[in-house]
Structure 1
Amino acid sequence: MPRLPVLLAAVLTIVAGLAVRLLWDGPVPKYAGDALYTVLIYALVVLAAPRVRPWVAAAVAGGLSWAIEFAQLGEIPPFLRPLLGSTFNPPDLLWYAVGAALACAAHTLWRSRRSTP
Protein backbone atom coordinates (compact mmCIF):
# COMPACT_ATOMS: atom_id res chain seq x y z
CA MET A 1 0.00 0.00 0.00
CA PRO A 2 1.39 3.45 -0.83
CA ARG A 3 2.69 5.22 2.26
CA LEU A 4 1.20 8.66 1.58
CA PRO A 5 -2.47 7.57 1.97
CA VAL A 6 -1.53 5.65 5.12
CA LEU A 7 0.29 8.66 6.54
CA LEU A 8 -2.74 10.83 5.77
CA ALA A 9 -5.00 8.27 7.44
CA ALA A 10 -2.78 8.33 10.53
CA VAL A 11 -2.91 12.14 10.70
CA LEU A 12 -6.69 12.13 10.19
CA THR A 13 -7.01 9.54 12.95
CA ILE A 14 -5.14 11.79 15.36
CA VAL A 15 -7.26 14.80 14.33
CA ALA A 16 -10.45 12.74 14.77
CA GLY A 17 -9.33 11.63 18.22
CA LEU A 18 -8.63 15.19 19.30
CA ALA A 19 -11.88 16.46 17.78
CA VAL A 20 -13.96 13.82 19.55
CA ARG A 21 -12.42 14.86 22.87
CA LEU A 22 -13.16 18.54 22.18
CA LEU A 23 -16.73 18.07 20.95
CA TRP A 24 -18.24 15.51 23.32
CA ASP A 25 -18.33 14.58 26.97
CA GLY A 26 -19.01 11.30 28.68
CA PRO A 27 -18.42 7.85 27.23
CA VAL A 28 -18.44 8.86 23.54
CA PRO A 29 -14.93 10.38 23.47
CA LYS A 30 -13.56 7.68 25.78
CA TYR A 31 -14.61 4.72 23.68
CA ALA A 32 -14.18 6.47 20.32
CA GLY A 33 -10.68 7.31 21.51
CA ASP A 34 -10.04 3.65 22.30
CA ALA A 35 -11.11 2.59 18.82
CA LEU A 36 -9.10 5.39 17.19
CA TYR A 37 -6.04 4.46 19.26
CA THR A 38 -6.12 1.02 17.65
CA VAL A 39 -6.75 2.52 14.21
CA LEU A 40 -3.61 4.62 14.67
CA ILE A 41 -1.60 1.56 15.66
CA TYR A 42 -3.01 -0.18 12.57
CA ALA A 43 -1.83 2.70 10.36
CA LEU A 44 1.62 2.57 11.94
CA VAL A 45 1.80 -1.16 11.25
CA VAL A 46 0.90 -0.54 7.59
CA LEU A 47 3.45 2.29 7.39
CA ALA A 48 6.13 -0.06 8.71
CA ALA A 49 5.07 -2.98 6.49
CA PRO A 50 3.16 -1.65 3.44
CA ARG A 51 2.48 -5.12 2.03
CA VAL A 52 0.96 -6.46 5.23
CA ARG A 53 -2.38 -8.21 4.82
CA PRO A 54 -5.29 -6.38 6.43
CA TRP A 55 -6.14 -9.20 8.82
CA VAL A 56 -2.50 -9.38 9.99
CA ALA A 57 -2.36 -5.62 10.59
CA ALA A 58 -5.66 -5.87 12.50
CA ALA A 59 -4.36 -8.74 14.63
CA VAL A 60 -1.16 -6.84 15.44
CA ALA A 61 -2.96 -3.56 16.20
CA GLY A 62 -5.67 -5.23 18.27
CA GLY A 63 -3.18 -7.49 20.03
CA LEU A 64 -0.90 -4.60 20.92
CA SER A 65 -3.86 -2.54 22.18
CA TRP A 66 -5.00 -5.47 24.32
CA ALA A 67 -1.45 -6.02 25.64
CA ILE A 68 -1.23 -2.35 26.64
CA GLU A 69 -4.62 -2.56 28.35
CA PHE A 70 -3.64 -5.70 30.29
CA ALA A 71 -0.33 -4.04 31.23
CA GLN A 72 -2.45 -1.51 33.11
CA LEU A 73 -3.21 -4.23 35.63
CA GLY A 74 0.36 -3.63 36.78
CA GLU A 75 2.16 -0.37 37.38
CA ILE A 76 2.62 1.92 34.38
CA PRO A 77 5.45 4.45 34.91
CA PRO A 78 4.03 7.96 35.33
CA PHE A 79 5.75 9.36 32.23
CA LEU A 80 4.08 6.68 30.05
CA ARG A 81 0.57 7.08 31.46
CA PRO A 82 -0.53 9.76 28.96
CA LEU A 83 0.30 7.35 26.11
CA LEU A 84 -0.51 3.97 27.68
CA GLY A 85 -3.15 4.82 30.26
CA SER A 86 -3.13 3.76 33.87
CA THR A 87 -6.37 1.96 34.72
CA PHE A 88 -7.56 -1.36 33.31
CA ASN A 89 -11.10 -1.05 31.93
CA PRO A 90 -12.60 -4.25 30.40
CA PRO A 91 -14.94 -2.42 27.94
CA ASP A 92 -11.85 -0.91 26.32
CA LEU A 93 -11.01 -4.36 24.95
CA LEU A 94 -14.23 -4.36 22.90
CA TRP A 95 -13.52 -0.91 21.47
CA TYR A 96 -9.98 -1.89 20.50
CA ALA A 97 -11.48 -4.80 18.57
CA VAL A 98 -13.97 -2.43 16.92
CA GLY A 99 -11.14 -0.11 15.86
CA ALA A 100 -9.10 -3.02 14.45
CA ALA A 101 -12.13 -4.37 12.57
CA LEU A 102 -13.01 -0.98 11.08
CA ALA A 103 -9.42 -0.34 10.00
CA CYS A 104 -9.24 -3.83 8.49
CA ALA A 105 -12.49 -3.25 6.60
CA ALA A 106 -11.31 0.12 5.27
CA HIS A 107 -7.95 -1.35 4.25
CA THR A 108 -9.62 -4.31 2.52
CA LEU A 109 -11.99 -1.97 0.68
CA TRP A 110 -9.08 0.25 -0.38
CA ARG A 111 -7.15 -2.76 -1.69
CA SER A 112 -10.16 -4.12 -3.61
CA ARG A 113 -10.82 -0.74 -5.26
CA ARG A 114 -7.16 -0.34 -6.18
CA SER A 115 -7.06 -3.77 -7.85
CA THR A 116 -10.28 -3.23 -9.84
CA PRO A 117 -9.62 -1.76 -13.31
Structure 2
Amino acid sequence: MTNGGMRGYGVARTRLVACVAALLAVAAGLGVRAGAARTGLGPEVAKYAGDALYTVLVQTLVVLAAPRVRPPVAAGVALAISWAVEFAQLSDVPAELSRRSVVARLVLGSTFNAPDLFWYAVGAGCAWAVHGWLRGRSRTAVG
Protein backbone atom coordinates (compact mmCIF):
# COMPACT_ATOMS: atom_id res chain seq x y z
CA MET A 1 0.00 0.00 0.00
CA THR A 2 1.33 3.45 -0.84
CA ASN A 3 1.98 6.05 1.82
CA GLY A 4 -1.04 8.04 0.65
CA GLY A 5 -3.15 4.90 0.91
CA MET A 6 -1.97 4.27 4.46
CA ARG A 7 -2.89 7.81 5.38
CA GLY A 8 -6.38 7.32 3.97
CA TYR A 9 -6.72 4.06 5.89
CA GLY A 10 -5.70 5.85 9.08
CA VAL A 11 -8.34 8.56 8.58
CA ALA A 12 -11.05 5.98 7.87
CA ARG A 13 -10.00 3.93 10.89
CA THR A 14 -9.92 7.02 13.11
CA ARG A 15 -13.42 7.98 11.97
CA LEU A 16 -14.68 4.47 12.63
CA VAL A 17 -13.22 4.49 16.14
CA ALA A 18 -14.73 7.96 16.73
CA CYS A 19 -18.17 6.68 15.63
CA VAL A 20 -17.91 3.71 17.98
CA ALA A 21 -16.75 5.99 20.80
CA ALA A 22 -19.69 8.35 20.18
CA LEU A 23 -22.13 5.44 20.41
CA LEU A 24 -20.41 4.20 23.58
CA ALA A 25 -20.62 7.67 25.15
CA VAL A 26 -24.35 7.87 24.45
CA ALA A 27 -24.89 4.31 25.73
CA ALA A 28 -22.87 5.08 28.87
CA GLY A 29 -24.92 8.21 29.50
CA LEU A 30 -28.17 6.31 29.16
CA GLY A 31 -26.78 3.47 31.28
CA VAL A 32 -25.64 5.77 34.07
CA ARG A 33 -29.03 7.44 34.12
CA ALA A 34 -30.90 4.13 34.28
CA GLY A 35 -28.44 2.66 36.79
CA ALA A 36 -28.62 5.66 39.10
CA ALA A 37 -32.43 5.50 39.10
CA ARG A 38 -32.45 1.73 39.70
CA THR A 39 -29.81 1.67 42.45
CA GLY A 40 -31.02 4.71 44.33
CA LEU A 41 -27.92 6.80 43.69
CA GLY A 42 -28.90 10.42 43.67
CA PRO A 43 -29.84 12.14 40.44
CA GLU A 44 -26.68 14.21 40.89
CA VAL A 45 -24.54 11.18 40.05
CA ALA A 46 -26.32 10.69 36.73
CA LYS A 47 -26.37 14.41 36.01
CA TYR A 48 -22.67 15.02 36.52
CA ALA A 49 -21.65 11.79 34.81
CA GLY A 50 -23.88 12.91 31.96
CA ASP A 51 -22.09 16.27 31.86
CA ALA A 52 -18.70 14.58 31.57
CA LEU A 53 -20.01 12.17 28.93
CA TYR A 54 -21.52 15.11 27.00
CA THR A 55 -18.03 16.53 26.54
CA VAL A 56 -16.67 13.09 25.66
CA LEU A 57 -19.35 12.88 22.96
CA VAL A 58 -18.47 16.35 21.68
CA GLN A 59 -14.80 15.32 21.48
CA THR A 60 -15.69 12.21 19.47
CA LEU A 61 -17.62 14.42 17.06
CA VAL A 62 -14.64 16.76 16.77
CA VAL A 63 -12.42 13.77 15.91
CA LEU A 64 -15.02 12.50 13.46
CA ALA A 65 -14.99 15.87 11.68
CA ALA A 66 -11.20 16.34 11.86
CA PRO A 67 -9.60 12.88 12.26
CA ARG A 68 -6.01 14.19 12.33
CA VAL A 69 -6.70 16.57 15.22
CA ARG A 70 -4.28 16.20 18.12
CA PRO A 71 -5.79 15.04 21.42
CA PRO A 72 -5.21 18.28 23.39
CA VAL A 73 -6.74 20.34 20.59
CA ALA A 74 -9.77 18.04 20.34
CA ALA A 75 -10.22 18.17 24.12
CA GLY A 76 -9.89 21.96 24.14
CA VAL A 77 -12.45 22.37 21.36
CA ALA A 78 -14.85 19.96 23.08
CA LEU A 79 -14.46 21.80 26.39
CA ALA A 80 -14.94 25.20 24.72
CA ILE A 81 -18.14 23.99 23.02
CA SER A 82 -19.46 22.48 26.25
CA TRP A 83 -18.74 25.65 28.19
CA ALA A 84 -20.24 27.83 25.44
CA VAL A 85 -23.45 25.81 25.59
CA GLU A 86 -23.52 26.11 29.39
CA PHE A 87 -22.89 29.86 29.36
CA ALA A 88 -25.55 30.28 26.68
CA GLN A 89 -27.99 29.02 29.31
CA LEU A 90 -27.55 32.35 31.08
CA SER A 91 -29.83 33.70 28.34
CA ASP A 92 -33.43 32.64 27.72
CA VAL A 93 -32.67 31.15 24.28
CA PRO A 94 -31.75 27.55 25.27
CA ALA A 95 -34.67 27.34 27.72
CA GLU A 96 -37.11 28.53 25.06
CA LEU A 97 -35.72 26.11 22.47
CA SER A 98 -35.78 23.29 25.05
CA ARG A 99 -39.47 23.88 25.68
CA ARG A 100 -40.12 23.38 21.97
CA SER A 101 -37.84 20.43 21.21
CA VAL A 102 -36.58 17.34 23.02
CA VAL A 103 -33.45 17.42 20.85
CA ALA A 104 -32.74 21.02 21.87
CA ARG A 105 -33.22 20.07 25.51
CA LEU A 106 -30.70 17.23 25.16
CA VAL A 107 -28.14 19.31 23.26
CA LEU A 108 -28.56 22.75 24.83
CA GLY A 109 -30.06 22.14 28.25
CA SER A 110 -32.07 24.93 29.80
CA THR A 111 -30.60 26.18 33.08
CA PHE A 112 -27.09 27.37 33.89
CA ASN A 113 -25.40 25.32 36.63
CA ALA A 114 -21.85 26.35 37.56
CA PRO A 115 -20.72 22.88 38.76
CA ASP A 116 -21.39 21.57 35.24
CA LEU A 117 -18.34 23.53 34.08
CA PHE A 118 -16.10 21.37 36.28
CA TRP A 119 -17.65 18.11 35.06
CA TYR A 120 -17.22 19.16 31.44
CA ALA A 121 -13.52 19.61 32.20
CA VAL A 122 -13.43 16.13 33.75
CA GLY A 123 -14.95 14.72 30.55
CA ALA A 124 -12.48 16.62 28.37
CA GLY A 125 -9.57 15.34 30.44
CA CYS A 126 -10.76 11.74 30.22
CA ALA A 127 -11.40 12.02 26.48
CA TRP A 128 -7.96 13.60 25.97
CA ALA A 129 -6.31 10.74 27.85
CA VAL A 130 -8.13 8.00 25.92
CA HIS A 131 -7.66 9.78 22.58
CA GLY A 132 -3.93 10.19 23.28
CA TRP A 133 -3.60 6.55 24.32
CA LEU A 134 -5.43 5.31 21.22
CA ARG A 135 -3.41 7.59 18.97
CA GLY A 136 -0.17 6.32 20.52
CA ARG A 137 -1.25 2.71 20.04
CA SER A 138 -2.13 3.26 16.39
CA ARG A 139 1.26 4.87 15.71
CA THR A 140 3.03 1.95 17.40
CA ALA A 141 1.01 -0.56 15.36
CA VAL A 142 1.68 1.23 12.04
CA GLY A 143 5.27 2.29 12.69
Query: Which TM class, normalised by the smaller chain length?
Result: over 0.9
Once the two structures are superposed, the pairs formed by residues 44-83 of structure 1 within 5 Å of their partners are 44-75=61-92, 76=94, 77=97, 78=99, 79=101, 80-83=104-107
- CA offset digits 1:11-56 (Å, max 9, x no partner): 0110000000101042110000000000000000000000001111
Which stretches in structure 1 are left out of the alignment for 5+ residues? none
Equivalent residue pairs, number? 117
User: Shift of residue 114 of structure 1?
Assistant: 1.6
Question: Secondary structure of the equivalent of 2:30?
Answer: helix
- CA offset digits 1:72-117 (Å, max 9, x no partner): 0001222323321111000000000010110000010111112225
Query: What percentage of residue pairs aligned between the two structures are identical?
Result: 58
Please identify which structure carries the higher helix content. Answer: 2
1:13 and 1:83 mapped to 2: Cα distance? 14
Question: Secondary structure of the equivalent of 1:65?
Answer: helix
Give the alignment partner of residue 33 of structure 2, picking from 18, 21, 27. 21
Question: Secondary structure of the equivalent of 1:64?
Answer: helix
User: Taking structure 1 as reference, are residues 116 and 82 closer, same or farther at Cα in structure 2, changes over 3 Å only?
Assistant: closer
Give the match for residue 87 of structure 1: 111
Give the alignment partner of residue 7 of structure 1, picking from 4, 12, 19. 19
Compute the RMSD of aligned alpha carbons.
1.1
Runs of 4+ in 1 over 4 A off after TM superposition: none
Residue type of the partner of 1:106? V
Which stretches in structure 2 are left out of the alignment for 5+ residues? 1-10, 37-41
Structure possessing the higher relative contact order (Cα contacts under 8 Å, 6 or more residues apart): 1
Q: Normalising by the residue count of structure 2, what TM-score does the alignment of the two structures yield?
A: 0.78
2:106 and 2:16 mapped to 1: Cα distance? 27
Give the match for residue 49 of structure 2: 32
1:10 and 1:82 mapped to 2: Cα distance? 15
2:67 and 2:53 mapped to 1: Cα distance? 20
Residue type of the partner of 1:115? R
